[in-house]
Amino acid sequence: MVRKSSLIIIFLLFVGTLFAGSPSIFIDNTFIDIGYIYPHSKKNFKFTIYNSGEAPLIIKSIIHTCGCTKLKYSKKVIPPSEKETVYGELTSYGEHGPIIKYIYVYSNDPAREKVEVRVKAYVREEVEASPHSLKIIYPLKIPYEKEISINYYGKGEFKIFKVVDELGIFKLKLTRKTKKSYNLKLSLLKEVSKGVGGFLKVETNSKRVKVLKIPVYFSKKKFFTIFPRYINLGTTSKKSIEKRVAIRALNGVHSIFVKSVEKADWFDCKILRNNSDMVILLFTFYPEKFRKLQHSVKFKTNFGGGKIDVSCIFKK
């Protein structure tokens, strides 16, 4: 026990000697929240590096992980009890929503050679709609109604001058108004039977967003998914190749079954599992009977049809 205690004391003395007269880095703010920032704009921030040690602190490098961040500082050597302020600039080009950028400060501090600084921001426009876009799945029930909130994050009172329905299929009504937001109620005037798209254009008093465009698009409801949807048999000299395809039910469909699979001389199909939440098809392809590089296998289910694309280069 005495020998063990002596070893511990010697080790502590060694560590104390090692770090005696060493520099010590301290950064006043390692998590900087610069708040909201507009897209394609700049915002400044700063943090201060202190040397609380007894020897000069050498800043070996300060690295940022994103080209959207610029840093400026003058001192690379900070004497004991002195400090250096690092000035930064964040550009929100191509960003939206919450973002975090990382900065790493490397120094000759033996205890903390690397210190991480995080810069947080939230990128949003002066005027934004919630939801940002409107996706309508058909077939749908008429009457169809949807409410969109239009929010203003600038200074002063917000005003909407006009709302233009580019598609001409909605009845529009502003249902609620405050100094910073409006609620827009949409009622579908007629049933839409095919995929279309367009914009609702909101004219505002915002200097940055004079016309807010809200994308509106219609898409057919998907009842099942296919995996794999594309089969590449590659370059082969095999006479036959087996592949399995799964057709899985979606959107609350509890039972899906395949009614028919088209016939062709370049493949055979066997249904391994049917009339459940998933159908399993076993295909046997005959590459030597391929007449072109890509073919499609069409099938029908109780929720519509689908197809699987198959490509192959037969090698003799």
Per residue in 89-130, pLDDT (tens digit) is 999 887 888 999 999 999 999 999 999 999 999 999 999 999
The pLDDT value recorded for residue 145 is 87
Q: Tell whether 306 and 274 lie within a shared domain.
A: yes
Residue 21's pLDDT band (cuts 50, 70, 90): confident
Q: What percent of the chain has pLDDT over 70?
A: 90
The pLDDT value recorded for residue 284 is 95
Q: Say whether 38 sits in a helix, a strand or coil.
A: coil
The rounded distance, in Å, linking the Cα atoms of 148 and 160 is 14
Check whether 7 has a pLDDT greater than 60: no
Average pLDDT, the chain: 87
The rounded distance, in Å, linking the Cα atoms of 52 and 246 is 64
On whether residue 17 sits in a domain, the answer given is no
Q: What is the pLDDT of residues 217-234, one digit of tens each?
A: 877 778 889 999 999 988
The pLDDT value recorded for residue 58 is 95
76 Cβ partners below 8 Å, 6+ apart?
Answer: 58, 59
Report, in this order, helix, strand and coil percent for the chain, each rounded to 5.
5, 60, 35
Q: Tell whether 98 and 74 lie within a shared domain.
A: yes
User: Once rounded to an integer, what is the mean pLDDT over residues 276-303?
Assistant: 89
On whether residue 236 sits in a domain, the answer given is yes
Q: Tell whether 215 and 234 lie within a shared domain.
A: no
What's the half-sphere exposure (Cβ side, CA atoms, 13 Å) at 291? 5
The domain boundary, picked from 123, 149, 179, lies at 123
Identify the domain containing residue 201 by its residue range: 127-220
Question: Domain containing 296 — which CATH number?
Answer: 2.60.40.10
The domain boundary, picked from 78, 102, 123, lies at 123
Q: Tell whether 182 and 256 lie within a shared domain.
A: no
Domain count, the chain: 3
On whether residue 269 sits in a domain, the answer given is yes
The rounded distance, in Å, linking the Cα atoms of 160 and 200 is 13
pTM: 0.57
On whether residue 2 sits in a domain, the answer given is no
Q: What is the pLDDT of residues 161-185, one digit of tens each?
A: 999 998 888 899 888 889 999 999 9
Beta-bridge partner residues of 258 = 301
Instruction: Report CA 1 to chain centroid distance, whole Å.
Output: 59
The rounded distance, in Å, linking the Cα atoms of 63 and 84 is 16
Beta-bridge partner residues of 174 = 184
User: Once rounded to an integer, what is the mean pLDDT over residues 286-298?
Assistant: 87
On whether residue 3 sits in a domain, the answer given is no
On whether residue 185 sits in a domain, the answer given is yes
